[in-house]
Structure 1
């Protein structure tokens, strides 16, 4: 099970609860139950937490748009200090946190959402030892924001692609904008990971320095961002401003 998708389940449950539905989880597969108790997704449904002795889970969290400190602390403690996360300098770590925070910032300013859901899962038995980290909001989708900004109908995949370009923003006035993900894009490229985004009926993927987009068969009224980090990576990463010749720099 890809338990990072608890972030998506959390957003879907939020949609159901807004329509006055009550959610109960029963007759759950025992293996799935174990995983979802370790990452704390099931805690609000009356289940007890289980200790994650193998350190493969990133805790499911549901952040309000004003919880800047909580989200930043979560990225630092749950992601960057995860056992096996690629070695990196302190300064690069700060930039990675800043880049991922831009996703949170975008969700609350453009998406106008009530909550931002996060979760992750490490798969140490896979050859590239991937760590999946997912952020989901059910606010205004990227296609709608970009189309409104340009006053024309954008294809959802192209809208996501536009939003991912450094400096592009739908913010107006004196407010600075743009996702500002250049550092993490370069890190993902060198790390041989990938970034995937779903918003409306658009799918976007950045992998090996190449961007692919296509149209999905359905619409998600919100945005899903998934980071896939390769933890089978013995390199040490740092910013070019602090590098020696033998280091991986950007």
Structure 2
């Protein structure tokens, strides 16, 4: 006989201060907390009560989908309850729930799953949804290199996650905030294990991410090239004053413009999430001045 369970997404569902899930340490901690609650359950019909939550960023829906997919591996089914209207609308437009709504303002990159060898399909998806008129102006060569770098993020998830579980992608354009945000999420082993195995030392999760994001550091072996990857993306984010965030297991690493933050999450995220956020108010024009080193990607 299957079991039934109700769990609360918010830490204090009856609090007067509603939870808001953004791509911050506190936001990812809430998502990790949901995963921790689900990870102990087996063959259970779970109701996730969203009482006390009034905002979840649309581009983080792939992270929630990763948690749901991980719970499904253990035979659990997930149903949402008491969802605020704004969140319900976001989930529908992002196709996180069965009921779909038309994205009349063309702001959504719908939650989509790709097989680990689906790099070509992902490239088509990324170019479709990132070829927006709001994107910063750049030469064709740099635009292609930027897409190549984003493709490398996908390939890293496929190669380093060490899982056959699908990779989950989605995003959102925020016109009032001037942000174009995209998430690539896997439910694999995490960066810490890959980096620690490469170096032969046990780094903290956040330090492992930091090592992986440094130019010329790679966990790839042999003659497998890494493309331009993190190097050109970080340089672009620095000039664009955008943001790139990597969350893996208990590690949180973020670059916002030139500022880098590393933190340890109190609870582990089930895999790795990479969130790329582009500042669409940036009116600079960019061109590719030098060719990036082909081994500067983890």
Q: Secondary structure at the match of 1:13?
A: helix
- When structure 1 is superposed on structure 2, of 83-92 and 68-77 the one drifting more is 83-92
Distance 2:137 2:90 in 1: 27
Distance 1:200 1:28 in 2: 27
Distance 1:125 1:141 in 2: 34
Aligned residue number for residue 30 of structure 1: 85
- Residue 124, structure 1, aligned to residue 179, structure 2: no
- Residue 188, structure 1, aligned to residue 243, structure 2: no
What are the ranges of 5 or more consecutive residues in structure 1 without an aligned counterpart?
Answer: 243-250
Q: Structure 1 residue 18: deviation in Å?
A: 0.4
Q: Map residues 44-123 of structure 1 onto 2, 5 A cutoff.
A: 45=98, 47=99, 49-79=100-130, 81-113=131-163, 114-123=165-174
- When structure 1 is superposed on structure 2, of 209-218 and 227-236 the one drifting more is 209-218
Aligned residue number for residue 94 of structure 2: 39
The verdict on how the C-alpha distance between 1:236 and 1:178 changes in structure 2, with shifts beyond 3 A counting, is closer
Residue of structure 2 aligned with 1:154, choices 203, 206, 214? 203
- Residue 135, structure 1, aligned to residue 184, structure 2: yes
Q: Structure 1 residue 41: deviation in Å?
A: 2.1
Alignment length (residue pairs): 235
Residue 167 of structure 1 contacts residue 177 of structure 1 at CA under 8 Å; is this kept in 2?
A: no
Distance 1:130 1:175 in 2: 34
Residue 167 of structure 1 contacts residue 178 of structure 1 at CA under 8 Å; is this kept in 2?
A: no
Q: Secondary structure at the match of 1:148?
A: helix
Distance 1:28 1:221 in 2: 23
The verdict on how the C-alpha distance between 1:70 and 1:215 changes in structure 2, with shifts beyond 3 A counting, is same
Superposed structure 1 runs of 4+ greater than 4 Å apart? none
Residue 106 of structure 1 contacts residue 179 of structure 1 at CA under 8 Å; is this kept in 2?
A: no
Distance 2:253 2:70 in 1: 24
Q: Secondary structure at the match of 2:70?
A: helix
Residue 169 of structure 1 contacts residue 178 of structure 1 at CA under 8 Å; is this kept in 2?
A: no
Residue 67 of structure 2 contacts residue 270 of structure 2 at CA under 8 Å; is this kept in 1?
A: no
Q: Structure 1 residue 93: deviation in Å?
A: 1.3
Deviations 1:189-215 (A, max 9, x none): 111111111112111111222322121
Distance 1:221 1:41 in 2: 18
- When structure 1 is superposed on structure 2, of 144-153 and 168-177 the one drifting more is 168-177
Distance 1:200 1:162 in 2: 15
- When structure 1 is superposed on structure 2, of 93-102 and 200-209 the one drifting more is 200-209
Residue 193 of structure 1 contacts residue 229 of structure 1 at CA under 8 Å; is this kept in 2?
A: yes
Residue 244 of structure 2 contacts residue 254 of structure 2 at CA under 8 Å; is this kept in 1?
A: yes
Residue 7 of structure 1 contacts residue 135 of structure 1 at CA under 8 Å; is this kept in 2?
A: yes
Residue 167 of structure 1 contacts residue 180 of structure 1 at CA under 8 Å; is this kept in 2?
A: no
Aligned residue number for residue 167 of structure 1: 216
Distance 1:159 1:174 in 2: 22
Q: Secondary structure at the match of 2:217?
A: coil
